[in-house]
Amino acid sequence: MKKNRKFDTLCVHAGEGPDPQHGAHATPIYQTSTFVFKDAEQAAARFAGKEEGYIYMRVAPHTPTHAAFVDKIAALEGAETGLPFASGMAAITAVALAQLRKGDHLISSDVVYGSTYSLFAKILTKFGVEVSFVNLSDLEQVKACLRPNTKMIFAETPANPTLTVCDIAELAKMAREIGALSVVDNTFATPYFQRALPLGTDVVVHSSTKYIGGHGDLLGGVVVCSADFVKRMKPIVHTTGGTMAPLEAWLCIRGLKTLHLRMERHASNAMAVAQFLEAHPRIEWVRYPLLPSHPQHAIARKQMSGFGGMISFGVQGGLEAGRKLMNRVELCSLAVSLGTVDTLIQHPASMTHATVPREVRQKIGITDEMVRISVGVEDVADIIADLEQALAW
């Protein structure tokens, strides 16, 4: 694929071509656990890492289907290469295990997905990793938290579910100056609206379950980065076995082909919904990066070309009012996850972030009245009409 191809073209064509053996137009699903070697010498060379090629599905590069997915997402993110995983959490875990050891210090966004919080706060700390959760949108707080043993800065931006945005280039610069690894979870924005690697970030992770797949029918994750960091992750992947299945890799390829089209519709719908909510008397506050009321609106406009389909808002009346809203919707589905073509609505404090202690949730803004909505690609008038009737009590 020529380097000067535009993003939309890369979505459709990057990493793919006609099957060289049979000429199949669509990338095949290589549903196999193992591969046959032509002779003992080739087998030995591949296991020794002296020859590139396929060995066994748990061992990267897994299968040609996985390779096509990685090539496509790497092209979209501007990365050298990457690795696919069974889930977004498997991807984040592999990055952490490849980079951190006993005595190292990790700085993380104070607002992260609930399972990411649990991994950092409850699992890594058991093995001697020091973890600081910091408001990464406040660079002075980050500077004050840096230590000689800080080895990784992990930023979820926009953050789940508060939509907090942090300055990717400045965080990457801080990490680089002390020899730490900078990591960005780009799940909410996708490479269509935000590319962290050209801003200086070392590693980008995605839950490909979300916008990459786009249809709520797969579980997966992916890391894109340098070839050198992939080499560091491979022993982790081969040993722990968090490998994406071939069907999921194929579904990710299919999803990426329409990423540019879906994200445009998600974003335009979300802006209209955010404006509706901001004007509604029952809504106390709305967080969407394109709204001028967003605390990091200027940073978002600087480093993002668009703002996706995620909105969080507070319903007047607290937890009970939020429950009332979610029980009254008809078009919107009450479900966790996000990035699907249909609109999903959920309550972070009792669902996706229930593993985060309440005192921590309150401190970082995941309040009881917060509702999170993943705006789909339906006709936006129908989405707004559903929310309007659900709020009419």
3-state secondary structure of 76: helix
Q: Is 301 a catalytic residue?
A: no
For residues 131 and 248, membership in a common domain is answered with: yes
Do residues 112 and 247 both lie within one domain?
yes
Final residue belonging to a domain, choices 229, 256, 283: 256
Is 203 in contact with 82 (CB distance < 8 Å)? no
| Same domain, yes or no: 278 and 176 | no
Q: Given this model, what pLDDT does residue 366 score?
A: 83
Angstrom distance (rounded) from CA 132 to CA 105: 8
Query: What would the DSSP string read from start to end of 207-237?
Result: ETTTTTT-SS----EEEEE-HHHHHHHHHHH
Q: List, as one string, the DSSP characters of 343-356.
A: -EEE-GGGTTTTTS
- Which CATH number is 342's domain given? 3.90.1150.10
0.85 exceeded by the pTM? yes
Would you write out the chain's pLDDT as a tens digit for each of its 393 residues? 566 899 999 999 999 999 888 899 999 999 999 999 999 999 999 999 899 999 999 999 999 999 999 999 999 999 999 999 999 999 999 999 999 999 999 999 999 998 999 999 999 999 999 999 999 999 999 999 999 999 999 999 999 999 999 999 999 999 999 999 999 999 999 999 999 999 999 999 999 999 999 999 999 999 999 999 999 999 999 999 999 999 999 999 999 999 999 999 999 999 999 999 999 999 999 999 999 999 999 999 999 999 999 999 999 998 888 889 989 999 999 999 999 999 999 988 887 777 788 887 888 888 888 999 999 999 999 999 999 999 998
110 has catalytic annotation? no
Active-site choice (210, 262, 287, 361)? 210
Question: Tokens representing 136?
Answer: 């990464």
Which position among 71, 110, 167, 185 bears the catalytic label? 185
pLDDT of residue 2: 62
3-class secondary-structure state, position 65: helix
Of 201, 221, 256, which residue is a domain's last? 256
**End residue of a domain, out of 226, 256, 286:** 256
The reply to whether omega before 161 is within 30° of 0 (cis) is yes
* Residue 250 belongs to a domain: yes
Q: Is residue 136 part of a domain?
A: yes
How many folded domains does the chain comprise? 2
Domain that includes residue 51, residue range: 7-256
Q: Is 276 found in the same domain as 374?
A: yes
Partners of residue 131 on adjacent β-strands: 106
- Same domain membership, residue 301 and residue 177: no
Q: Which residues contact 277 (CB under 8 A, 6 or more apart)?
A: 283, 286, 311, 313, 387
Same domain, 131 and 241: yes
User: Which residue of the set 30, 71, 104, 113 is catalytic?
Assistant: 113
Same-domain status, 128 and 205: yes
Closest C-alpha to 224, from 205, 207, 237, 201: 205
My answer on whether 246 and 321 are in the same domain is no
Given 58, 254, 301, 324, which residue is catalytic? 58
Could you give the CA distance from residue 43 to residue 49 in angstroms, rounded to a whole number? 10
pLDDT for the residue numbered 349: 80
210 is a catalytic site residue: yes
The yes-or-no answer on residue 195 being catalytic is no
Q: In a 3-state reduction of DSSP, which class is residue 34? A: strand
